[in-house]
Structure formats: C-alpha cells, structure tokens
Homo-oligomer: A and B are copies of this chain.
Amino acid sequence: MGLTRTEIFSTEQNQLATLFKALAHPARIAILQRILSSNTCICGDLVDELGLAQATISQHLKELKNAEIIQGTIEGVSVCYCINPVTWKSIETQMSAFLGAYKQEASCC
C-alpha cells in the first residue's frame, strides 16, 4: 500500500497522470511561467526570484527535466533552461484530447 497501482491502468492513463503530476506543484508552475515569459532562464535567477532554497529549486528543475518538459544547457558556470518544444506540443495534444472528450450533453445529475 501507499504505492500507486500503475499495472491496472493503461499506458495512456499512467502517462497522462504522470504529466499532471509533474505540473502539480506551484513552484513548478512558477518556474515554467518564468521560462514562458523570458524564453530563457538561468537556474540561479529562479533561486533569487522564488523564495525557495537552492536545493529545492534544483530538485523541482530535476523533476521537470525527468518529465522532459524542460531541457537545460550548461552555459559557462550556469545552466540555462528552456521548454522542450516536442514535449510541450505533446502535452497540449494529450490534454486537449482529454479535456475535449467532454460533450455537454443532457446532464444526468
């Protein structure tokens, strides 16, 4: 117990849930919004701007990287992060397919 029973769900269901999970933290939303608005984003800037410790930011960045939502390039001593365009497109596709599946027919309750 205490462990998600992924075996009983479809790959699609697990993937979608994993994607949502990667986005299910305000710090990660904030990091992504920062990247979205600046296009570019140096890791250290996030530490200054969000009120979280360097280790914490680094951990959130790692999760976003693991989900392949962002990618980082070493730029001298710093690391520059940006959106992974392929994954972002895929997120848009998957989520709009999921959300768009609702057709407001005669509601039952």
A contact set with B: CB distance below 8 Å: 4-6, 8-10, 13-14, 16-18, 20-21, 23-30, 32-33, 36-37, 39-40, 50-52, 71-73, 75, 80-83, 85, 88, 91-92, 95-96, 98-102, 104-109
- The distance in angstroms between the C-alpha atoms of A28 and B37, with both chains bound, is 32
- Are the CB atoms of A92 and B99 closer together than 8 Å? yes
Q: Which of B6, B20, B25, B26 contacts A23 (CB 8 A)?
A: B20
Which residues of B are found within 8 Å of A37, using beta-carbon distances?
101
Contacts of A71 in B (CB 8 A): 109
Q: Do residues B99 and A95 form an inter-chain contact, with CB atoms below 8 A?
A: yes
Going nearest first, the 6 A-B pairs with the smallest beta carbon separation are: A73-B109, A21-B24, A9-B26, A20-B24, A40-B108, A20-B23
